[in-house]
Amino acid sequence: MADLKDRFVDFIRGLQDEICQAIEELDGLATFQEDLWDRPGGGGGRSRVLSNGKVFEKAGVSTSIVHGEMPEALKKNMKTEGSKFFACGISLVIHPENPMAPTTHANFRFFEMYDKNDTIIDAWFGGGSDLTPYYLFEEDAIHFHAEQKKAADKHDSALYPRFKKACDDYFRNHHRDEGRGIGGTFFDYCKANENHSLEDWYNFTTDMGKSFLPSYLPIVAKRKDQSYTDDQRYWQELRRGRYVEFNLVHDRGTLFGLRTNGRTESILMSLPPRVRWDYNVQVEEGSPEAELIAVLKEPKNWLN
């Protein structure tokens, strides 16, 4: 098990390097600023943030490796008597400047729980990638989902539809009855069972991590130079407000970080730099904005 944990730490560190390099190359102007931090109680992380680029307004790609005593709030939330924990993962959010290019989020993580004698009593993988467009291009949605499915199908053809539905269900602003975006995959608590070993879930999770760049970067490369109006930029900032609402109200990763004394600056690096909450904005019937809202209300099977 320790070997699995160490291998996953190596994987997320390498994936962070790979993603940051690819983002910098596509941007062509800005570079990531790195910030190393320590967590009170055990562990720390490596946060990287790119700001005010030619293509990307903000991109955050962080890895964290934290461990220690289980906080009482976390034990209560997880309904466990576990005494100690280890958690490692990579988390990223990328906000392009151009409203024709979508925001994206991805996270891949591993968690172990121990009793008072440091014996492992539970372990699982989780993660996923999802897309949040401001203007809907069906070919982009199809491409993103097709890459996710291709990676998942290498392991089990039942996994993509299962985790696609989980993504649609999870990344949803229930207080507004709409999705945060057009989905992707989301998986959590992937433990050893009669069908898949923990090693199987390691292989699945790392392949899903490797699929992120081919899922997302070609879309941005295609949309980054499209023209847009001030009104379209205004719409992007309104929709970013909904993105922020989800992260602060519903997101488990944000809550986990805050409850385990994580570094607040790194936890909240996903928030966009320019965002709006204007009162009761209505979209014009039949407009591209209305088309997006319709899809967010009712999740779509993009590969059917």
Q: What is the spatial distance between Cα 94 and Cα 270, in angstroms, rounded to a whole number?
A: 8
CA distance 216 to 189: 25
Q: Say how far residue 25 (Cα) sits from the centre of its chain.
A: 21
Active site residue 143: no
Neighbours of 136 (CB within 10 A): 18
First-to-last alpha carbon distance for the chain, in angstroms, is: 39
d(CA 259, CA 256) in angstroms, rounded, equals 5
Torsion of the alpha carbons at 189, 192, 198 and 200, rounded to the nearest 10: -100
Task: Read off φ and ψ for residue 235, nearest 5 degrees.
Answer: -65, -40
Out of 95, 105, 143, 145, the active site residue is: 105
With vertex at residue 21, the alpha carbon angle to CA 91 and CA 46, rounded to the nearest 5 degrees, is 40
C-alpha pair distances (Å), 62 with each of 24, 94, 202: 15, 12, 20
List active site positions: 105
